[in-house]
């Protein structure tokens, strides 16, 4: 029989139990440490590698960062997460390489039933969120459950993204819609950290 944590990750309905409460409490303790340390502190960086599901090289995570569990977040090389970002990682949240996440962004894998009776009786569910390489999520944007953001996408400030976004486009609005395609340079080089001497 699956645990509620296993049901949560499997995108099935689940109920918050003691295991999930304990994991959330551990995460809260970890966040107190993360947000009390300088962003480039060696001790903080070491802790972050254990805190997240995986953490790439040359990642910047600024202060007032919040999440539910931490262990369900996977961050690629060169990503930048600015201040006051919240990630509700009740399911897998993948952040690709060289993704820029501006201040005040909310990424939510979590959802609840629209029906009030089911909601108050604690029927919870969640779906993975994927943000692919080189995307830029503008200030105070919201990425909702089950959404995949394509490569090189720009999400305008304040946008609410409710469905998948294909590669190479700009989206804006509530709900977010494609505003235009973003042409990619034909001579684009490999933007690995080694090319920047890092």
Q: What is the CA radius of gyration of the chain?
A: 17
Between CA 10 and CA 37 the distance in angstroms is 34
Burial class (CB in 10 A: 0-12, 13-18, 19+), 142: buried
Contact call for residues 147 and 111 (beta carbons, < 8 A): no
Peptide bond into 92 cis (omega under 30): no
| Residue from 58, 112, 123, 127 carrying the catalytic annotation | 112
Residue 143's DSSP bridge partners are: 107, 161
Q: Which of 71, 153, 152, 155 is nearest to 106 (CA)?
A: 155
User: Is 112 noted as a catalytic residue in this protein?
Assistant: yes
Active site residues: 112
């Amino acid at each position: 029989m699956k645990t509620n944590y296993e049901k949560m990750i499997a995108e099935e309905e689940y109920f918050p139990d003691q295991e999930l409460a304990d994991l959330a409490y551990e995460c809260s303790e970890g966040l107190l440490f993360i947000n009390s340390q300088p962003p480039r502190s060696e001790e903080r960086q070491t802790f972050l590698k254990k805190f997240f599901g995986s953490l790439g090289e040359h990642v910047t995570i600024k202060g007032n960062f919040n999440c539910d569990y931490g262990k369900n977040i996977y961050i690629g090389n060169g990503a930048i997460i600015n201040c006051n970002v919240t990630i509700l990682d009740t399911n897998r949240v993948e952040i690709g390489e060289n993704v820029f996440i501006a201040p005040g962004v909310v990424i939510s894998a979590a959802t609840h039933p629209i029906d009030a009776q089911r909601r108050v009786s604690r029927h919870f569910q969640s779906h993975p969120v994927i943000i692919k390489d080189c995307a830029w999520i503008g200030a105070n944007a919201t990425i909702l459950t089950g959404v995949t953001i394509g490569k090189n996408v720009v999400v305008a400030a304040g946008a609410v993204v409710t469905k998948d976004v294909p590669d190479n486009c700009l989206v804006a609005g509530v709900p977010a819609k494609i505003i235009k395609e973003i042409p990619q340079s034909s001579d684009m080089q490999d933007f690995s950290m080694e090319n920047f001497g890092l």
